[in-house]
Each structure stands twice: as C-alpha cells, then as structure tokens.
Amino acid sequence: MRGPLGAVLERYPLSDGTTEDGGIIRHNRKCRDVAFLVIFIAFWVAMIVNSSFGFNQGNPLRLTYGLDYKGNVCGDKHAHPGLHQLELKYWLNPNQVYQSGVKDSQFKLSNARSICLLDCPTPLEDSLSWVCDYPEGDIHLSVDDWIDRNYDYYEILTLGMKNASLQLQGPCYPVIFPSVNVYWSCQYIARASNASLRHWKQMGGVDIKEDIVVDKSIHSFINSRSSVLKRYMADIGKAWPVLIVCGGLLPLFLSVVWLLMIRYFVAAMPWITVAFFNILIITVTVFYYLKAGWIGNDAISPIIGDHDPYMHVFGRELNHLRAAAILMTFVMVLSILTSIAIVRRILMGTSVLKVAAKVIGEVQALIIFPVIPYSILAIFYMVWISAALHLFSSGQVVQNNCNTNCCAYDLLSEKVNCDHCCGYSIRYTPHIAVAIFFHLFGCYWATKFFIACSSTVIAGSVASYYWTRGETSSEVPVLPVFDSMKRLIRYSLGSVALGSLIVSFVESIRFILESFRRKLKVTETTPDSWFGKMVYHTSQGCLSCVEWTIKSVNRNAYIMIAITGKSFCRSSAIATELIMNNILRLVRVNVIGDVILFLGKLFVSLSSAVFGFLVLDTHKYSSGHNKLSSPLLPVLDSEEHEGTAQFAPLLLMETLNEQNDMQRLTQ
C-alpha cells in the first residue's frame, strides 16, 4: 500500500511513530517521462520550420487589401507599378460587376478588371469623370501624375483608345456609380448619377446596367466568410500595441495588485472581487450593446473615412457583435444571480484567503515569480502571432482560369486583348491548411506547457510552507520558489510536457468532434439515416467523455508531481485517489477557493477588456488606416492521517472541521 506523502517531504512522525530523516521535499528523485520531453523539443523544432515557411511565403498585406488585375497586392510598394498608399481596390467596369451578381452567371467578381486607388471615385455633377488604367506604354505619365489627375487621362487618348473606352473595354472607364471605402474595397452604391449617365449616352457609350445587383455583388464579396476571417486576422496585426498593453502589461500589473490586496486586505477581498466583477461585466455588456447599435448611435460601421451620413452599408461583423452582446447578457444575468447565491459561501472563502495571504507573506517570491512565465509567454505570443499572420496569408497568387468575356485594352500591346485577361486569386493548398492547424495546436500545447510549469513551481513552493503547519521553519528554503524551479527543470519537464500534451490533444479532438456535430445539425434535425443518427449520438457521447477526461487531468496532477516527483500518469492516479477519498473537503475548500480565484481572473480580464475597448474606440482604430473591422476580435494530505489534515494551518483546519461532513453536504 502506498505510504504517506508527507514522509517524502519533511521529517515528521509516520503512522508507526518513527521519524523520517531528510529535509523538506528532499528525497531521491530521477528524471521522469524523458521520451515526451524529447517529443516536445522535436515539436518545437517543427514549429520553427513551420513558421519559417510562413515568413518566407506569406504577406500579411493580403489579409487586408485586395488584388488588382495584375495580381499585385494593393498597397505593396514593391509591386509594378509601385502601389505604395494605393490601398483601395476599385472595380473599373460596372457591367462586369453587374454580370458577376446575376444568378447562375459563370462570371466571377474576381475576374472583373480592378486596380488600386488612393480613394474611391464619385461621379461629378456637371460632367463625366473617368478612372483610367495604370499609365504605361504610350501614356507617358508617372503614377504620381496619374493620381494628381484623379486617375483621368481620357483627353490624351487616341481615337481608337477612346472608342474602346466607350465599349467599356478601357483603358478608361466612366464613373457612373458613387462608391465608398468598405474595408479597403470601393463598394458601389446602386444610385447611378443621372448627369453622368446622360453624358455617357451622349458620347455613344454602351448601355450600363443600373440594377441593385451592382451593389449586392461587391457586398457579398466583401462579407464572404473567408474575407471576414482575413479581416479578423488583420485586426490582430493592426492592434498589436493594444494587445501588448491590454493583453500583457496591464493584466500583469492588475494581477500583482490583486495578490497584494489579498495580502493586506484579506477580509474584504472576496466582497471587493465579487462587487467589481459584477460592475465590470455590466460595463462590458453595455459596451457591446453600444457597438451593436442597440443603445445610442455608435454602432460599428464597415465604411472607412468620411462619407454621406445617410449612406449605410451592412457588415457581417455587426452580426457577430450582436451575438456577443446576447451572450454577454446571459453571462451577466447568470453572474449576478450566482453572486447572490454564494453570499454565505463567501464567508468561508475568507478563511481560505487568509491562509493564502499568510502563504504570500511567508513565500513572498510567489508575487514576483509569475513575471517569469508571463514574460516567456509574452515573447512566444508575439512571435507566434507574427508567424500566424504570415501563415494565413501564405497562399499562392495565381491567375484564374475563366472562359468568360473579359476583354480589355492592353496599353503595352496597343490593342484589345481577350487572352489571359482573367483576374487573380489567392489559392490555399491542403498543406497550408495542415500547417495552420499545426501552428494552432502548437500554440495551445506551448501555452498549456508553460501554465503547467508555473503550477508545478508554485505547488512545490507552497508545499514547503504547508508541511511546516503554516509556521516559519528553518527547514523552509530561503528561496523556495527557485528551489522548486530547479527541481522542475532537472526532473519533471517530461512529465509536464506529457500532461500538457494530453490536455491539448483531447481539446483538439473535442474541437473536431464539435465541428463535425454542427455539420450534422445543418438541417436543424437529427439525421434520418441510421448511420447519421449513430454518428450524431456517438459524437455527443465522445464529447462527454473528452470533457470528463479534461476535468480529470487537471492541476492536481502537477501538484503531485511537485510533491512526489512521480511521473505524470502516477501523479494523476495519486491525485485522483486523494480527490475521491476527500471529496467533501475538496468541495468545501477547493471549490470556494477556485470560485474566488476564478472571479479574480475574470476581474483582471474584464478590466483589461474594458480598457482595451476604450482604446480601440478611439479615432486611431475606428477610422483611417488602422481601422479595425470589429473590436470583438483584437486568463492535500488529509487522507494521509486517517482523514485529519494534520499539517494544515489552523485557519484552514477550522474551515475543514467547522461542521460534520454529511451535515455540510446536506446543507
């Protein structure tokens, strides 16, 4: 039968009355789960290779800006011609835009002729304005001169070029419809200028379609799922200063403040935490309502820059924000009701926090230690996000294979060209999708690994304090945190790698199964076939099993690794046995402590979120070059002595033994 855990931690009387020699957490350890440490190192090497592919092939500009008819990314200063500051994609031929929106049409908007401009053209009131192709060939103008002329050099065209332009074959095209900058694409507004149309017809131009389809075609393209996903990824790149401050420095500062307040205001901390948590969650919910347009007139708009206030363009991001507002409403109501329900338990939580306050006072390095894993994770996230942006944009720019009429005047060959006039698209091969999934899994595994290392170090530090009955002892190391770090690095990194891998693996399976289950529910009913029903219910059962596994493989295993030095599997078994044999005490102390700790994490997260929302709502991020598409995207020993927590501090023992177990459970 397994011996007492305390015997391997400190000299204290064993069950037979003898004394075990050796200091606190001082026994013969050895390296555990080395094979998984090797796998983890190999995985990091693969992550570096995978990221290198992204940095080599990707271009984050593709996530924000469109492609012109030559395959250049708008805004790319290395393109030919140079497109620096020419960031807006504009479709030249309105009839091609119309044709792409007609039902069952074979013509795609990606094949419509498009160029990159500095601003979106609008029709003139008294004459017909033109937008002409990039100046080249016999058009002896620089790009700067072309911009200064408002992209119009129709008056210097030859007679043949003018005739081709009147047939909507270029090189110049009439500006008939007003347009606005919607996420760096010029969205047509289906309100044709009567004056421009009159001039166009007087010049003998071909018929131009004025249907609402002109508007809807570009709108559907801008709000496609792939376009929205790219914009969300681009938002991360644009808002990186806010992420560093509100996702890094501010949470770290607030966490240290929260720990210090536990140390010096322990009696009031549960109430302060609960009160501020509810205030913050109400604030965040109200902010979502404001940005969703349900309160006030400050809803997010996809239009960038100044525009007609009566001009409204809908973006899919608004739907996402409204869904988040509904979810936050539910969470807010639930949190307020839960806070009311746990008022009595908060008094018990005060006793637990008093023990925590004393631990922080005795092992003061615990306040500083989180800075180490936090800094490592911050550096990792910066590199990982940069690599992710490059991976998401690492598709190949290839010319489409179209069989439709896309004839246009070629200034270099000086004739109308109907060959190789198809547009360009970014194509993602299957291996890129695998690389992205691998990158996401690597982020999750690395995050879980560093969090597990932190839990193990903290558990080893607190154990030194705990086994001295909560009193100062000469056997407690002067720097228990750093002693615990040395034990982790020397003996237990493999065990931590295995534990974090298991959690990451089962979470990935749950994500895949949940995606599969949602696809089965597309019809809003359970599949009719027996095979479909079997797969549907099996996936639900697997999800439940995965969820149970995740709850079982928790931080208690890392605590036992820190205390015993055992392998991950063995530590998990010990932790599970301890939990099952002390379930009532676990409910009494662990659950209440976890609730306060969880509310503390939410308090820090929500405070950072509120500050982040306020920053992202400033002019810098709500308009102009850095405009975000949405602010949505931009935290044990009881059974060893016949059920008596012999080495627990007195405050904790009072909490544990306050009433009879069954009596407390009944209440």
Mean per-residue pLDDT for 507-521?
A: 68
pLDDT at residue 46, as a whole number: 93
pLDDT at residue 15, as a whole number: 36
Residue 67 DSSP one-character state = B
How far is C-alpha 632 from the geometric centre of its chain's CA atoms? 10
Nearest of 563, 561, 579 to residue 497 by alpha carbon: 561
pTM score above 0.95: no
Nearest of 627, 605, 602 to residue 616 by alpha carbon: 627
Nearest of 484, 476, 391 to residue 437 by alpha carbon: 391
Residue 336 CB coordination number (10 Å): 15
Mean per-residue pLDDT for 545-553?
A: 63
Pairing of strands 172-174, 130-132: antiparallel
Residue 65 DSSP one-character state = S
pLDDT at residue 468, as a whole number: 62
CB burial of residue 415 (10 Å; 0-12, 13-18, 19+):
exposed
Residue 59 has pLDDT above 70, yes or no: yes
pLDDT at residue 546, as a whole number: 65
Q: What confidence category does residue 37 fall into, taking pLDDT thresholds of 50, 70 and 90?
A: very high
**Which of 182-196, 248-262, 429-443, 529-543 has the lowest average pLDDT?**
529-543
| Cα separations in angstroms, 534 against 26, 217, 514 | 54, 41, 15
Residue-wise pLDDT tens digits, 228-280:
777 777 777 777 777 778 777 888 888 878 877 877 777 777 788 788 888 88
The Cα 425–Cα 82 span in angstroms is: 20
Residue-wise pLDDT tens digits, 143-161:
888 988 888 888 888 888 8
Mean per-residue pLDDT for 270-294?
A: 82
pLDDT at residue 516, as a whole number: 67
Upstream peptide bond of 174 is cis (omega within 30 degrees of 0)? no
**Which of 141-150, 276-285, 567-576, 600-609 has the lowest average pLDDT?**
600-609
The Cα 139–Cα 150 span in angstroms is: 15
The Cα 578–Cα 7 span in angstroms is: 16
Residue-wise pLDDT tens digits, 382-422:
899 889 888 988 888 888 887 767 788 888 888 888 877 78
The rounded mean pLDDT for the chain is 76
pLDDT at residue 315, as a whole number: 60
Q: Write the single-letter amino acid at 410.
A: D
Q: What confidence category does residue 467 fall into, taking pLDDT thresholds of 50, 70 and 90?
A: low
Residue 547 CB coordination number (10 Å): 13
pLDDT at residue 43, as a whole number: 93
Q: What confidence category does residue 531 fall into, taking pLDDT thresholds of 50, 70 and 90?
A: low
Q: What confidence category does residue 512 fall into, taking pLDDT thresholds of 50, 70 and 90?
A: confident
